[in-house]
Every structure is written in C-alpha cells, then in structure tokens.
C-alpha cells in the first residue's frame, strides 16, 4: 500500500508500511547505513503524521516481511490473539498512543492486551512517543518471571552478575562472582560469556557455577552464554544447565545467521523444562537481542532496525523466557552512533519488550569507538530505572575485559537501587540477610561482623586448589 502526506506544498510518498515505519524512526546510524532512513527532518515528521493515521488493523493486512518468506512473520500472524486485540482494534496508531498514555491503560488492561499486540504495532507507536512517554507506559507494565527466585515485581530491580574472563580462568571468574555477591548482585542470574566455544570448557564453567550456587545455597540461577546447540548437547550429557541462552533477531534469515531457527529453540526449551531445576518457577530461557543485528547479517529486508528488534521480542515471547536482554550499544556506532541514539534505543527496546509481555532488561553499554561515555550510560540507567527495568548488568568496574565493551558495574546497581528504593528479588534478599550480607531493610552490611566470615567461606570453598 502507498502512503502519502503533505507538509505545505511538499508531498511525501511512502511506498509501503515498512517504508513508512523506517522514515518515521528517530535518527540513527544503522538506518542511514541501510539507506532506509528519512532524508530530512521534514520527511520524518511527514512519516510520523501519516503513521499516526494508520489503523492498527492494517498491520494484520500488510506484513513488513512477507509471510511466505519468513517464519518469524508466520509466528507473529499465526499466534495473534484476536480476542485480546479487540480492546484496541478500532484505534489508529496515534489513537493507540493516546490510549496508552491515558488512565484507561492500567497495568491490568495492559496485561490483558499482550497477546493481541503485534511487534510492528508496538514499534509503530513507539515512533510517535517522546522519551517520557516511553518511560511512563513501560512503568505501568509488570512482567513477573520465576526460576529459583522471582524477577520483575514492582519496586524491584535485579542484576545479572557477569564475571567474564578472557581465558575462562576459574579463579578469575570466582573472584568476580565474590565481588558481585558482596555488593548484592546476581539475583537475575550469574551468567558467563565464555571466551571459548569448546564444550569441555563450557562444561567446566557450568559445573563451577552450579557448585557455587549449591554450596552457598544461593536462590539464583546460572547461565553460560554459549550456542543453544552446544547447550542441548551438554544437557543430554547430564551437565547442570539452569537457563538456556541464545541470541535472537527479528527475521528468519538473521536467526539463521546465528545458527538457529524456531524448531531448535523449541527443542531446547522442552529439554530445559524436562530437567525441572527451578524451585519457584519454570521460566528456563535467556535471550539477548540488539538493534542492528539483522542489518549486520544483511537480513533486514529493507526494514528499520527498531521494528526488527521488536519482532525479535515475538520470537522470545513464544518461549516464556526468564530474562530478555537488549544489549543496546554493543554492536557499535555503525548502528547507534552516539549517546543520544543509544539512550533513545534503550528506552524504545524496554518499552516495546514490556508492552509485548517480556521481562526486559537492558545492558546499558557502549563500545569504545562510539561517541558515548559513562555519563551517557548513567543517564540511560537512571531513565530505565524510572521506567521499571527488570534487570541490568553487573560487570566488575563496568569494564568487560573479555568482550571489550563498557557496561554497568555492581556499584551502578547500588546507585539506582538507592535513588529509586528498588529491592532485589525477594528470595535473594532473604538469603543475603541470612548470611549477613544485608540488614533487615536490605541494605548492605558493609564491613560488619559476618561479611568477612562470608567472604572467607566463599574464598576457601570456591577457589580451585
């Protein structure tokens, strides 16, 4: 379908719904690289005005990636809940924005709507919103998941303890875990990005994490972020797998570039469920995404990167994940050029994920060749905390020495928890109080009596000989 909008004497033509979505996107380097971005601010405004008038029903009629060519599109359309959609089916994109910002869009109403929303609808409405709108609506969405603890409760924010090491050294990894636990991190999970893809190394890391969690009786879950097929093989061999990880994207071709498809993800999901390792729930998947992944694989079908990011959330939603993490600035300035673009993308991702019913966390991060710095990350971290982000990363010193990028530290998590009064997962908080790491109000005990005892116990019991 052709879309048109005039501004003064200038008429703009958008050749398809996908083209309209791309031209309506806030400026970002990835869309410019792909040649899909608006050529001027005037064209972007015209696209947004035209997009505001598009009925939400149109997204059911016009797929941005053809149904016959893409299994993600088929997933989106075939699982669309018409009954859930009925509450907003008469609205345009602009009217949907007004409804989301109104008092009628209560947390309960948003929860009922989840399965009726297509990711393209959610991406579209995000393009009409200011940053404060993205924060306000996302804050109304409560998405709760469980494995060995409960993540996503209102007034809580969890932290993935990320103890990466450039050589997968057990002593270095354990030291980082100790550092994180002493500072209250690790309730989202303790998750290692391995430097090696050797299954023997991955197996050793799984055993290390399982040993630490078991010996210290920590109510949390572990994850080694290796390829899903490696994890499948290790589960079959009896290795202690809590969460199955995989990077995913918003098109079939992009997922194929990661070496996965929906059938492999389904197989892994069922295998992890069969282990029954969760104690308070059975959300067993951990997915990571990022704007620009489809473009980097030349699998974007001429669609803007933010719309494709939202489509990745449809893939995640099909498998009831415990955690979904937008690694927002990790791909680099070719896709998100500077701090302003990273901040906007992080808020968009969080908004879209939460509206689609996902436990969205954000790796507030950037690469060292981007036009961004830690002040930009402080700004995004603070905005996401205000928006009710489910979890963030905890990296020693905010500097990942294996992946070579800048993220958020254990102390950054303490900052936002203090400013916003946010708590850890309740089971994890109870454990911290039992072992003397925190007082009754959840505040860290600092160097009080039981802290040295706990640290000494961890060092003695966990470090290899």
Structure confidence by residue, pLDDT tens digits, 143-152:
999 999 999 9
Average pLDDT over every residue of 270-283: 98
Res 449 pLDDT > 70: no
pLDDT cut 70: percent of the chain above it? 96
C-alpha distances out from residue 237 to 191, 225, 259, Å? 21, 18, 21
| CB under 8 A, 24+ apart: contacts of 177-180 | 177/212, 177/462, 178/455, 178/458, 178/459, 178/462, 179/396, 179/410, 180/394, 180/396, 180/410
Residues 206 and 222: their CA atoms lie apart, in Å, by: 8
Residues 434 and 417: their CA atoms lie apart, in Å, by: 20
Structure confidence by residue, pLDDT tens digits, 72-122:
999 999 999 999 999 999 999 999 999 999 999 999 999 999 999 999 999
Q: How many CB atoms lie within 10 A of CB 313?
A: 28
pLDDT attached to residue 204: 97
SS (H, E, C) the chain: CCEEEEECCEEEEECCHHHHHHHHCCCCHHHHHHCCCCCCHHHHHHHHHHHHCCECCHHHHCCCCCHHHCHHHHHHHHCCCHHHHCCCCCCEHHHHHHHHCCCCCCHHHHHHHHHHCCHHHHHHHHCCCCHHHHHHHHHHCCCCEECCCEECCCCECEEEECCCCCCCCHHHHHHHHHHHHHCCCCCCEEEECCCCCCHHHHHHHHHHHHHHHHHHCCCCCEEECCCHHHHHHHHHCCCCCCCEEEECCCCHHHHHHCCCCHHHHHHHHHHHHHHCCCCCCCCCEEEEECCCHHHHCCCCCCCCHHHHHHHHHHHHHCCCCCEEEEECCCCCCCCCCEHHHHHHHHHHHHHHHHHCCCCEEEECCECCCCECCHHHHHHHHHHHHHHCCCEEEECHHHEECCCCEECCCHHHHHHHHHHHCCECCHHHHHHHHHCCCECCCCCECCCCCHHHHHHHHHHHHHCCC
Q: How confident is the model at residue 70 (pLDDT cuts 50, 70, 90)?
A: very high
Res 203 pLDDT > 80: yes
The encoded tokens of residue 233 equal 């093989």
In DSSP terms, 5 is beta-bridged to 12
pLDDT attached to residue 455: 66
Q: How confident is the model at residue 9 (pLDDT cuts 50, 70, 90)?
A: confident
The encoded tokens of residue 120 equal 């393209």
| pTM for this model (two decimals) | 0.96
Res 51 pLDDT > 90: yes
Res 462 pLDDT > 60: no
pLDDT cut 90: percent of the chain above it? 92
pLDDT attached to residue 465: 46
C-alpha distances out from residue 73 to 41, 67, 235, 425, Å? 30, 5, 30, 35
Average pLDDT over every residue of 388-401: 96
């Amino acid at each position: 379908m052709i879309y048109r909008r005039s501004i003064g004497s200038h008429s703009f033509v958008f050749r398809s719904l996908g083209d309209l979505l791309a031209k309506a996107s806030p400026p970002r380097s990835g869309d410019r690289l792909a040649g899909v971005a608006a050529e001027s601010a005037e064209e972007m405004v015209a696209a947004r005005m035209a997009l505001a008038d598009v009925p939400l029903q149109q997204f059911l009629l016009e797929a941005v990636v053809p149904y016959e060519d893409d299994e993600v599109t088929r997933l989106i359309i075939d699982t669309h809940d018409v009954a859930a959609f009925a509450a907003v089916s008469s609205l345009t994109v602009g009217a949907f924005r007004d409804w989301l910002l109104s008092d009628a869009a209560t947390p309960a109403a948003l929860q009922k709507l989840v399965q009726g929303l297509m990711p393209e609808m959610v991406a579209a409405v995000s393009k009409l919103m200011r940053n404060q709108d993205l924060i306000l609506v996302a804050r109304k969405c409560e998405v709760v998941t469980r494995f060995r603890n409960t993540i996503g409760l209102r007034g809580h924010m969890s932290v993935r303890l990320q103890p990466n090491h450039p050589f997968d050294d057990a002593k270095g990894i354990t030291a980082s875990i100790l550092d994180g636990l002493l500072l209250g991190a690790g309730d989202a999970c303790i998750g290692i990005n391995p430097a090696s893809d050797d299954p023997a190394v991955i197996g050793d890391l799984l055993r290390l994490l399982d040993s630490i969690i078991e010996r210290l009786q920590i109510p949390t879950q572990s994850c080694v972020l290796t390829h899903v097929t490696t994890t499948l093989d290790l589960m079959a061999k009896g290795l202690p797998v809590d969460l199955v990880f995989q990077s995913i994207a918003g098109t079939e071709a992009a997922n194929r570039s990661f070496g996965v498809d929906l059938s492999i993800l389904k197989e892994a999901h069922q295998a992890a469920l069969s282990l029954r390792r969760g104690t308070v729930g059975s959300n067993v998947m951990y997915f990571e995404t990022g704007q620009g992944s489809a473009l980097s694989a030349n699998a974007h079908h001429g669609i803007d990167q933010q719309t494709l990011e939202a489509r990745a959330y449809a893939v995640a939603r099909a498998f009831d994940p415990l955690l979904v993490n937008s690694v927002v600035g990790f791909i680099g300035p070719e896709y998100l050029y500077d701090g302003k673009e990273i901040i906007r993308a992080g808020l968009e991702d969080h908004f879209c994920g939460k509206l689609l019913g996902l436990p969205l966390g954000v790796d507030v991060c950037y690469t060292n060749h981007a036009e961004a710095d830690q002040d930009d990350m402080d700004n995004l971290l603070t905005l996401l905390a205000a928006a009710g982000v489910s979890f963030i990363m905890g990296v020693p010193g905010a500097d990942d020495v294996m992946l070579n990028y800048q993220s958020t530290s254990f102390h950054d998590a303490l900052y936002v928890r203090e400013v916003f009064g946010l708590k850890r997962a309740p089971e994890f908080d109870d454990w911290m109080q039992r072992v003397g790491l925190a007082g009754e109000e959840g505040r860290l005990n600092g160097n009080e009596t039981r802290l040295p005892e706990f640290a000494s116990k961890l060092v003695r019991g966990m470090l290899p000989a």
